[in-house]
Structure 1
Amino acid sequence: MALPKYATPLERVWHWTYLVICALIFFFLIAPIVVIIPLSFNADRFFTFTDEMLAFDPAGYSMRWYDSLMTFGMAQPEGPRGASWFADMWANAKWVNAAKNSIIIGVCSTVLATVLGTLAALGLSRPEMPFRRLIMALLISPMIVPLIITATGLFFFYSSACVPQGSWAHTLLSPVLSKSGCLANTYLGVILAHATLGIPFVIITVTATLVGFDQSLNRAAASLGANPRTTFFRVTMPLILPGVISGALFAFVTSFDEVVAVLFIAGPDQMTIPRQMWIGIREQLSPAILAVATLLVVFSIALLVTVELLRRRSERIRGVTPA
């Protein structure tokens, strides 16, 4: 915001002081993230800037750690990079398998969290809903309660939530259950746990969108003969869709970034990127972790830009800001 021409000298001093304070705060928040980006291109196995890097010598920079993300765990990483090499990478590379698991778990948990969270937000937005505040507090408790407590509770619950072997339910659900018939150490258990953590973000985002929703549009649709299902899909859903998508993106980021619940609930097969990074920090400290972190930062920035664009579109649709 530019200063007006009639601003006093004191106002001008405060204006520039305010800008400096904002810049320092921004630098304090962003510096730990930005510093890992050049370190991920380090040619040596160090987590510090080498003399070559500080001198901007091309010999001090390398893509070796990004390449190791594709080759780590392969049977023949040094072979010719043809169809068989990419098949080996897709099947055996640990970071690639972790990325596949993160995407599969993230997408499934996001769909589940978005559907349940949107339905909950629609119910909580109705004025005749009894105990709305109490229900809202319970539904958003996973994002308030310390994550270690939630993960511990989920671990004990999934360990005891077992289907008796030999029953029809065990026969039906055997592909998604562990050998003992429980949800622990299964993809389904991890997906349900991540959906539990993502639902509060969907509820808050969709509820905020419904605050500015004009309910007279639904009444107008009903007066014209539309049933509740047609009214929802033709009137309500298109207007709240930016908020729903924003909540889904937050739920996906929550799932993609989650490590505590995975450490408690997942088994050896459910290896996600955050868990692989955790293991890499404990067992094999390598700048490849910085390469993964850089890719995650770029991915997160892309999602944040998408959320901001959806927010502005939602405001234009609801007439909050001029088009």
Structure 2
Amino acid sequence: MSAAFSFNRIVAIGLWVVGGGTALFLIAPILAIIPLSFNAEPFFTYPMPGLSLRWYNEFFSSEVWKLALRNSIIVAVFATLLSTVLGTLAAIGLSQSDCPARATLTAILISPMIVPVVVAAVGIYYAFAAVGLLNSLTGLVLAHTVLGAPFVVVTVTAALSGFDQNLMRAAASLGAGPVEAVLRVMLPLIAPGVASGALFAFVTSFDEVVVALFIAGSEERTLPRQMWSGVRETLSPTIAAVAALLIVFSTLFLATIQWLQGRAELQKTHREE
């Protein structure tokens, strides 16, 4: 028994080492950006000659970067609102037992997650050019809604898989209409799934660059597009500072999503008990 225990312990340690090494290999290029954002010199070099907050100060004081940040926040917020509403309604419709062609509709709704982004960007460009939505924040919001809504559909559909439809029948028997039953019975129970989908939609919009390159003008530059332009035109450590802020921002969002998913699983377990 002692030999078997030692062997299992060695295997467990080996798995931890392999897993940790793999994780380090994947995140090392990302973590390497953070120290460079504090470089005192305007070069991407190691070892760094000194530390400075110069590039963060330049980001927060530059009108160009502030405009890009403002555009990214505006577009992401409105795209998230639209994606959450449309995606939640679509998921509720797909969860109904009498929904016709459910598989086909689901495939269509989540296709923006499967189709390469550049292909979707070309299609959006030609469609929006025909109706005059290019070079506008409205067009960018609608385009990011198309990209973000599938994430809401997927997460809300997963949340609805554990929802007891008998609760809706009970609400109807007590005099609640369909809308009232959804708002007062269904939504509170699937709220973690809706919130997770909304966060995914927000991150998708905030980090998106390909569609922005196709349909946004110079006044509608988002933060990722401004970073792209900076890499091509003037390779400044300010880009590293922005990247470091985005890494922290994305990590916080990921932790929030994990917390919401854990809360949803806990609620599902309690309902089953």
TM-score per shorter chain, which class?
A: over 0.9
Residue 32, structure 1, aligned to residue 22, structure 2: no
Counterpart for residue 240 of structure 2: 290
Change (3 A) 1:7 1:214: farther
1:87-107 superposed Cα distances (whole Å, 9 cap, x missing partner): xxxxxx111111000000000
Counterpart for residue 47 of structure 2: 50
1:180-236 superposed Cα distances (whole Å, 9 cap, x missing partner): xx1111111111000000011010010011111111111111122221122111110
Counterpart for residue 69 of structure 2: 99
Counterpart for residue 79 of structure 2: 109
2:12 to 15, 29, 35: 15
Q: How does 1:270-281 map to 2 (within 5 A)?
A: 270-281=220-231
**What one-letter code is carried by the residue in structure 1 that aligns with 2:88?**
T
Counterpart for residue 84 of structure 1: none
Q: How does 1:89-168 map to 2 (within 5 A)?
A: 93-161=63-131
Change (3 A) 1:277 1:47: same
**What one-letter code is carried by the residue in structure 2 that aligns with 1:315?**
E
Gap runs ≥5 in structure 1: 53-59, 73-92, 162-181
Counterpart for residue 64 of structure 1: 54
Kept in 1: contact 2:39–2:48 (CA 8 A): no
State the shift of 1:70 in Å: 2.4
Counterpart for residue 173 of structure 2: 223
Kept in 1: contact 2:37–2:238 (CA 8 A): yes
State the shift of 1:126 in Å: 1.1
Counterpart for residue 248 of structure 1: 198
Gap runs ≥5 in structure 2: none
Residue 209, structure 1, aligned to residue 206, structure 2: no
Counterpart for residue 300 of structure 1: 250
Counterpart for residue 178 of structure 1: none
Counterpart for residue 90 of structure 1: none
State the shift of 1:309 in Å: 1.5
1: CA distance between counterparts of 2:126 and 2:64?
28
1:226-252 superposed Cα distances (whole Å, 9 cap, x missing partner): 211221111100001111111011001
**What one-letter code is carried by the residue in structure 2 that aligns with 1:64?**
R
1: CA distance between counterparts of 2:154 and 2:98?
19
State the shift of 1:33 in Å: 1.2
Which gives a bigger RCO, structure 1 or 2 (Cα 8 Å, sep 6+)? 2
1: CA distance between counterparts of 2:105 and 2:26?
35
Q: Which is helix-richer, 1 or 2?
A: 2
Q: Higher mean Cα deviation, 228-237 or 305-314?
A: 305-314
2: CA distance between counterparts of 1:8 and 1:50?
45
Q: Which has the larger radius of gyration?
A: 1
Kept in 2: contact 1:239–1:318 (CA 8 A): no
Kept in 1: contact 2:168–2:185 (CA 8 A): yes
Counterpart for residue 172 of structure 1: none
2: CA distance between counterparts of 1:238 and 1:49?
51
1: CA distance between counterparts of 2:167 and 2:90?
21
**What one-letter code is carried by the residue in structure 2 that aligns with 1:32?**
P
Kept in 1: contact 2:94–2:102 (CA 8 A): yes
**What one-letter code is carried by the residue in structure 2 that aligns with 1:292?**
V
**What one-letter code is carried by the residue in structure 1 that aligns with 2:6?**
P
Kept in 1: contact 2:71–2:222 (CA 8 A): yes
Superposition RMSD in Å: 1.8
State the shift of 1:7 in Å: 4.5
